[in-house]
Amino acid sequence: MKRKSTIWFIICLVFVGLLAYSGGKGLTISGYHVKSFGESIKRGLDLKGGVSVVEEIQETELDKDAISRTIELLSNRVNKLGVAETVVQKEGNNRIRIEIPGESDTKKVVESVAKTGKLTFVGPDKVVILTGTDVKDSVAYLDSSAKPTVSLEFTTEGAKKFS
């Protein structure tokens, strides 16, 4: 009886040791990788440090779709920095909070977020034909063959230029 208990104790001890090792260092068995706690737990600003920026929208009449598109654009722009676990969310009525864990260069983040994109259509002779001000609305979607497509609606003047 005492021998059985000792064997079970050793088996449990080995099992707990294996779990502790795989949690601390990670483990690969037959091509299957068990992530360590450090790999699987994403650290936010509170644990990793980073930059938190609050952008305030200056316009008085706010369109919910415009705010949603702005949040999506900012999220795409911030995620191009190569930082995981970024947070871009609406705060209050006219603010957007951007949190980037692990980033320490505040100036770089503010410049990349504040930078305005500029849409231009350039002809073969390198002359600008249209700009973003000639576009009334745009929508990105997947067409029937699952190819990314952008639909553009031009202003009256933009339609004349495009034709």
pLDDT digits (tens, 9 = 90+) for 80-106: 655 567 788 888 888 888 888 777 777
- pLDDT average, residue stretch 120-128: 89
Kindly provide the residue ranges of all beta strands, DSSP E only, lying in the chain, ordered along the sequence: 27-29, 32-34, 50-56, 87-91, 95-101, 120-122, 128-131, 135-142, 148-154
pLDDT at 57 over 60: yes
Higher pLDDT, 96 or 112: 96
In a 13 Å sphere around the CA of 103, the CA atoms on its Cβ side amount to 24
> Is 100 in the same domain as 52?
yes
Look at residue 11 in the predicted model and tell me its pLDDT.
93
Look at residue 99 in the predicted model and tell me its pLDDT.
82
pLDDT-based confidence at residue 42 (cuts at 50, 70, 90): low
> Is 77 in the same domain as 130?
no
> Is 97 in the same domain as 58?
yes
Total count of domains within the chain: 3
> Is 17 in the same domain as 57?
no
- The CATH number of the domain holding residue 93 is 3.30.70.3400
> Is 53 in the same domain as 85?
yes
Contact predicate 77/86, CB 8 Å: no
pLDDT-based confidence at residue 10 (cuts at 50, 70, 90): very high
> Is 101 in the same domain as 142?
no
> Is 81 in the same domain as 142?
no
> Is 25 in the same domain as 51?
no
pLDDT digits (tens, 9 = 90+) for 149-163: 988 899 999 899 888
Residue 132 carries which DSSP code? G
Domain boundaries, position 33: 2-40
- DSSP H or E stretch at residue 9: helix 2-25
Look at residue 155 in the predicted model and tell me its pLDDT.
92
Q: What's the pTM value of the predicted model, to 2 decimals?
A: 0.51
> Is 54 in the same domain as 89?
yes
